[in-house]
Amino acid sequence: MTGILEGSYDPMLVLLSMGVATGASFVALNVAPRIWSSSGWSRLGWIVVAATALGGGIWSMHFIAMLAFSLPVPVGYSIPTMLISLAIAIDVTAVGFAITASGRNTPRLIVAGTIMGFGIAAMHYTGMAAMQLPAVITYNPTIVVASIVIACTAATTALWIALREKGTLWRASAAVIMGAAVYGMHYTGMEAASFTAMPSLLHPEAAQLDRGTMALVIALASAIILGLELASAKFDRHLESVRVREQHIVQATTDRFRHLVQSSNDIFLVVTRTGQITFAVQSQGLADFNIKSLEGGSVFDLVQGHGVDLLRRALIVHGPRSAAAHVDHLKIRKIGGPLRDYEATVCNMAHEPSIGGVVITFHDVTERERAIGDLLQAKQVSEDASRLKSEFIANMNHELRTPLNAILGFSEIMANDGQGKLAAGRYRDYATDINRSGAQLLSIINDILDFAKSDAKQLSLNEGVVDAKTLVEDSVRFVTPIANKKGVTIATKIVPNAPNFRGDERRLRQILLNLLSNAVKFTPAEREVRVLVRVSDAGGVEFDVEDTGIGIPPDQIGRVMEPFYQVDGSLARTQEGTGLGLPIAKSLAELHGGTLRLESAVGYGTTARLTLPPERTVPQTVAA
């Protein structure tokens, strides 16, 4: 066969080629908004997806259209040239999308559309070069130029429509136009081609595809494009749902924080370093202010007080990312109200683009300051009361002791007057009762005075070296008459190595007398009170006073150390006392750096243990 070869088209395959071009264009342009809204590696990934879809679609459309075109000679296709044409389609399309991603102004749009048009043309004529047949292909230059113009114009128009971002309908319109650019260029280019038979022209059969194999390859490529379309659509829907969900989360978070701020009584201002207010946050703290009138003014027109200079210094000194500054003693007058006390927290947020200034948070501390003032007033009242109490006690010390000493002295003279008018009869007993009652009253007064001094931290020690044996013997001697009268025996046991120690002998005797008096008081007749002295495990000295009396309930042991508390508080109790002895003894023990503890069992008795610390012990050589 010689001369010009006439070709024919399969209408169904032609329609298929148009559909593939339009579908691939829709996939690519549907992905394009993701390119324009992303950045970095994410943008690069979307460019690859869009370019693969559009470039692969152009390539598939071309070879489907070539399958639709029949010549009266056998036709094969060079695999390397086909792959080159595919690479051209994908790479040039990627460049076009990359240009629009960097900016979407008119010059870039024209450049991107022109590059894509030339890419479509380059892919077409490279694909034509892949044909291997016994014929020579020649082109009409005018029609070739027309095909390129069609491709560039239609591609630019399609990009312009797609860049409007007005929804799926607009992108579908852009896809139709882009598809028209592809198949319009192809079929126009085919009109420019003439095939002249040349039987002597032979092509190697290696590395080429026949029509059947090429149909399979094109079908596979179309399936890949369709898969990209489905995957991108699904992924796009997923991204859209994620975006919507994130928008809802952001909106909910924004609303939450806005409501929190608006319900706050604090005042939030954004100011410059000089104090000019650039933004005032709407909150309950600013409910009485005109926010618009505040913005543009100075924060120093709003605040007063001693802390203004500190606030001014904080604005100047505290730089971005430095620790927040705290300023006290500020006052703000709300409209129609009195001055109120505020404290401020200053945080420099100039490095945050969304803030770009210094954030000042004013917190109303009026009630706190009032409470502090009330506490200070109460403290002053308490100190005045304590001073008056001390003065009263000092007066009591003189006013009560003086007449009481006179009563004791004269009653003793009267009781001892063996030759006078009171020598016989009940009047002598009266005088003895007066003397005994006066002595008891003096003891109570002394306890009250000692407790008052202890409570006021006014007790002091007159220290010297004390011998444990002498201290115990003297104390027992004072209590023995009372014990004998009641029929109670007092036994003592002092370890031979008991060391001497430093302390106030009178005060220590006061402790032991109190413990012994209590022990005798609560021990029934014909029973025993024991006094034990030994070295403690820590190296100090321990004094145990053990009775075999009624004991103390476990829940009452701690309370008997409280002032004026007695286990039996009724008026009908059988034992007398003010409830001050043990608290005074405990205070005196602690004044020596020691402790006083009670151990008791109801019905078996009580042990009172006075422990003095080891640093109070005196070596025998010093004691001597």
CA nearest to 98, candidates 166, 18, 44 = 44
Spatial distance between the Cα atoms of 460 and 507, rounded to a whole number of angstroms: 10
Torsions phi, psi of 223, nearest 5? Answer: -65, -40
* Predicted local distance difference test score (pLDDT) of residue 572: 35
Residue type for position 399: E
pTM: 0.40
- Percentage of residues in the chain with pLDDT exceeding 90? 7
| Residue 572: Cβ-neighbour burial (10 angstroms; 0-12, 13-18, 19+) | exposed
1-5, 155-159, 161-165, 472-476: least confident range:
161-165
Higher pLDDT, 101 or 433: 101
Whether residues 14 and 92 fall in one domain = yes
Q: What is the tens place of the pLDDT at every residue in 185-233?
A: 888 888 888 888 887 665 555 445 555 566 666 666 666 665 665 566 5
Task: Please give the sequence-ordered ranges of beta strands (E in DSSP) within 281-375, or none if there are none.
Answer: 303-304, 325-333, 339-349, 357-364
Highest mean pLDDT among 220-229, 278-287, 447-456, 460-469: 460-469
Say whether pLDDT at 434 is over 50. Answer: yes
**511-513-517 Cα angle (round to 5):** 120
Average pLDDT over residues 149-177: 73
Spatial distance between the Cα atoms of 114 and 93, rounded to a whole number of angstroms: 11
177-191, 277-291, 308-322, 471-485: least confident range:
277-291
* Predicted local distance difference test score (pLDDT) of residue 566: 57
**CA dihedral sign of residues 199, 205, 211, 217:** negative
What are the structure tokens assigned to 340, written together?
Answer: 């109120």
Q: Is residue 246 part of a domain?
A: no
Say whether pLDDT at 38 is over 80. Answer: no
Say whether pLDDT at 158 is over 80. Answer: no
* Predicted local distance difference test score (pLDDT) of residue 58: 79
Whether residues 345 and 428 fall in one domain = no
Q: What is the tens place of the pLDDT at every residue in 560-587?
A: 776 655 555 443 344 455 566 788 788 8
**Of 200, 224, 240, which residue sits at a domain end?**
240
Whether residues 346 and 380 fall in one domain = no
CA nearest to 342, candidates 299, 291, 297, 307 = 307
Average pLDDT over residues 247-276: 76
Q: What is the tens place of the pLDDT at every residue in 582-593?
A: 887 888 888 889
Buried b (16+ CB within 10 A) or exposed e, 40-51: eeebeebbebbb
Whether residues 438 and 499 fall in one domain = no
Say whether pLDDT at 42 is over 60. Answer: yes
* Predicted local distance difference test score (pLDDT) of residue 571: 35
Whether residues 472 and 444 fall in one domain = no
Whether residues 116 and 45 fall in one domain = yes
Q: Is residue 247 part of a domain?
A: no
DSSP 615: G
* Predicted local distance difference test score (pLDDT) of residue 151: 80
- Assess contact for 115 and 95: CB atoms under 8 A: yes
**Of 429, 455, 481, which residue sits at a domain end?**
455
Whether residues 173 and 276 fall in one domain = no
Mean of per-residue pLDDT scores for the chain: 77
* Predicted local distance difference test score (pLDDT) of residue 129: 85
Q: Which residues lie below 8 Å from residue 433, measured CB to CB, with a gap of 6+? A: none
Q: Is residue 245 part of a domain?
A: no
Q: Is residue 253 part of a domain?
A: no
Higher pLDDT, 21 or 515: 515
Higher pLDDT, 230 or 36: 36
What are the structure tokens assigned to 507, written together?
Answer: 């005060």
Whether residues 121 and 68 fall in one domain = yes
Whether residues 201 and 60 fall in one domain = yes
Say whether pLDDT at 522 is over 70. Answer: yes
Average pLDDT over residues 110-125: 84
Whether residues 502 and 614 fall in one domain = yes
* Predicted local distance difference test score (pLDDT) of residue 502: 92
- Confidence bin at 488 (pLDDT 50/70/90): very high
Q: Which residue has the tokens 């009109």?
A: 191
Q: What is the tens place of the pLDDT at every residue in 58-88?
A: 788 788 888 888 888 887 778 888 888 888 8
Domain harbouring 328, CATH code: 3.30.450.20
Average pLDDT over residues 501-529: 89
Parent domain of 468: 464-623
Higher pLDDT, 108 or 205: 108
Which parts of 69-208 fold into alpha helices (H)? 79-102, 106-129, 141-162, 168-192
**Of 307, 333, 364, which residue sits at a domain end?**
364
Spatial distance between the Cα atoms of 428 and 533, rounded to a whole number of angstroms: 43
Domain total of the chain: 4
- Assess contact for 542 and 596: CB atoms under 8 A: no
Whether residues 225 and 108 fall in one domain = yes
CA nearest to 30, candidates 178, 156, 221 = 178
Highest mean pLDDT among 162-166, 202-206, 363-367: 363-367
Q: Which residue has the tokens 């505020």?
A: 342
Whether residues 115 and 236 fall in one domain = yes
* Predicted local distance difference test score (pLDDT) of residue 337: 75
Task: Please give the sequence-ordered ranges of beta strands (E in DSSP) within 208-356, or none if there are none.
Answer: 208-209, 267-271, 277-280, 303-304, 325-333, 339-349
- Confidence bin at 532 (pLDDT 50/70/90): very high
- Percentage of residues in the chain with pLDDT exceeding 70? 72
Q: Is residue 52 part of a domain?
A: yes
3-state SS, residue 524: coil
177-186, 365-374, 565-574: least confident range:
565-574
